[in-house]
Chains A and B, each alone.
Chain A
Amino acid sequence: MYVAVKGGERAIESAHAWLAEERRGDTNIAELSLPQIREQLKLAVDRVMAEGSLYDPDLAALAIKQSRGDLIEAIFLIRAYRTTLPRFGASRPVDTGAMDCDRRISATFKDLPGGQVLGPTFDYTHRLLDFKLAAESEVPDAPTREVSSGAVPHVTEFLNQEELIESAPHDDTPPPDLTREPLEMPADRALRLQALTRADEGFTLGLAYSTQRGYGRNHAFVGELRIGAVTVEMDIPELGFAVEIGEVTLTECETVNQFTGSKSEPPQFTRGYGLVFGQSERKAISMALVDRALRWEELGEDYVGAPAQDTEFVLYHADNIQATGFLEHIKLPHYVDFQSELELVRKLRREAGEEQFQEAAE
């Protein structure tokens, strides 16, 4: 006898209870605290904030804990939370020129005003497992020096003075808002950058890498990479002036790209731009390369059919929350569609069989 399966509700509850138990793991091991995650897994926290499009280190830490370290799941938690938040207004554009830089390097000039500041980087570390860390050793204080005062101007400004790089005039057009309006083609640069800054790091990296290997090559130099805190200000109409509402850490990458000119543009360097919440050089550089590749049309370059040049392809597939949801939905029941395919295949096979039989008889 056949009894239809019931009790989905109970099964779901039990699965969730089991998940909670697994998340905690062995209870003889101390539980992770949110400050531990926030301070010691900072780059994971930064990625969750960047791709979750919400700057809140404590919430990102909570999401990482809840998701058992699955960062895409954590990003999803942050996105779903973010969408319920009321919107009070928009901040003023942040001024990355006034950034309090922890790190600032240029690959195009040996030295420059503001200097090269390595900052807390994995670069030049030898990737050898440090077994001392396994023993929870104390870390000696890093050497310090006085902060050099004075502004840290953008490298591209020097090139701009000689008109060697395309100008990027100030533009006060309010940017579109990807989270409030459906994505539409053609997408202008502001919209593309918005999509790229929250795009999946791996996807963006892969695309950027493909441009370096020749799929839409754009000869990028890292004009400048800077990481540090900037203040966020908001205009309060009732007060008539802007007030500081907080500080965010950003990674900014400006690439300087070779450009021999086109029908519409003179030979000069061109720009690619990346800006990401938190500290994420890989993402910021990748973003700048992909941004530059997507600009082929406005610069009058040829479309060579490279994936990184294809705005529709890039923007519609860069979001890991959309991608993972749709990818994973194929594990949901599909018996109804599958049944209709079964019937069709059986029918086609039956008819093919009959034809063969007929041919054999003839």
Chain B
Amino acid sequence: MTEYNFAYLDEQTKRMIRRAILKGLAIPGYQVPFASREMPMPYGWGTGGVQVSAALLTPDDTFKVIDQGADDTTNAVSIRSFFERTAGVATTTATSEASVIQTRHRIPEDALTENQILVYQVPIPEPLRFLEPRESETRKMHSLEEYGLMHVKLYEDISRHGHIATSYAYPVKVEGRYVMDPSPIPKFDNPKLGNMAAIQLFGAGREQRIYALPPYTQVVSLDFEDHPFEASKADHPCGLCDATDSYLDEVIIDDQGGRMFVCSDTDYCTARQAAGHKGKDAA
């Protein structure tokens, strides 16, 4: 095949995805089934996010792709070059310059604006899946707002460990109605989901689901009065830019188990270093 359609997908497929996105926005947190297509990259590697991005990119967009917060992780590089080739869009690593950001496992540290769209790659969109493997059952549970099982699970954690033992893909409730999986972002990122100025779209290719959060949507992380939700991260400043408010990766730096902590959001860290911030491990 020599000629691709703009943004790879054929127009009929894009229309189908676009219709699903609109219904997703109209019913925040509800998972809209869509006829996910086979993409030229494996299921589980971002095909849902890629299809959502392909359905919404225009030639005027500036596109950023991050995986684990970083622009230079191999799968982010691969997806970015896919759209450079098939949609001819401009790309960037600067969060503030991007109009569409596709992400796996992180929300950028910088607050997003009304002129931006955040597209999440989602592996398992169903927050109830690990409690109930059957789609036919979980669909019923959502329709009846039967979320007791989820609360029981979280509470069992507390009685066993003293804490809710879910540290990422931490479930949220959207506008008091649907319990939603925020994709495997660390729970540190959960507070950014609600009231965000940007549109958030979630694509699960293999599981054939699209869901959405319009801007300024109420999103609450599930918790209990006596055990309120707590966003957590490694209790260190970034070794490179000294940030104390960003999510950190732990890097092992020598054979003796020496380690340092650095921002997972590479653009955030680079910008801070350029502005003169310096951590204890910086050159």
Contact = CB atoms under 8 A, between A and B. Distances in A.
A339 B186 CA distance: 9
A80 B39 contact: yes
A243 B4 CA distance: 31
A159 B96 CA distance: 72
Contacts of A361: none
B74 interface: yes
Interface stretch (A39-47, A211-219, A274-282, A328-336): A328-336
Interface in A273-302: none
B184 A337 contact: yes
B165 to A, nearest CB: 6
Q: Which range contains the number of A residues in contact with the other chain? A: 35 or more
Contacts of A305: none
Interface residues on B, range: 35 or more
A329 to B, nearest CB: 3
Contact of B68 (A2, A3, A333): A333
A340 B40 contact: no
Given A339-B249, A340-B167, A86 B10 contact: yes
Most chain A Cβ neighbours within 10 Å, of B167, B247, B264: B167
A281 B271 CA distance: 61
Interface in B151-167: 161-163, 165, 167
Interface string A112-125: 00000000000000
A336 B161 CA distance: 22
A342 interface: yes
B75 interface: yes
A81 B37 CA distance: 11
B43 A182 contact: no
A190 interface: no
B43 A341 contact: no
| Most interface-central of A11, A86, A335 (chain B CB within 10 A) | A335
A312 B136 contact: yes
B77 A8 contact: yes
Main secondary structure of the interface of B (DSSP, over half): loop
Contact of A325 (B43, B67, B251): B43
Contacts of B4: 84
Nearest to B39: A80
Interface in A169-184: 179-184
A21 to B, nearest CB: 20
A332 B75 contact: yes
Interface string A314-348: 00100001101111110011111101111110011
B262 A322 contact: no
B135 A336 contact: no
Nearest to A15: B74
Which 4 A-B residue pairings sit nearest by Cβ, starting from the closest?
A325-B43, A329-B44, A325-B42, A340-B167
Interface of B: 1, 4, 10, 33-40, 42-45, 47, 67-69, 72-78, 81, 104-106, 123, 134-136, 161-163, 165, 167-169, 184-188, 206, 208, 232-234, 239-240, 247-251, 253, 260, 262, 264, 266, 281-283
8 contacts: A2-B240, A4-B72, A8-B74, A76-B42, A185-B135, A326-B43, A336-B105, A339-B250
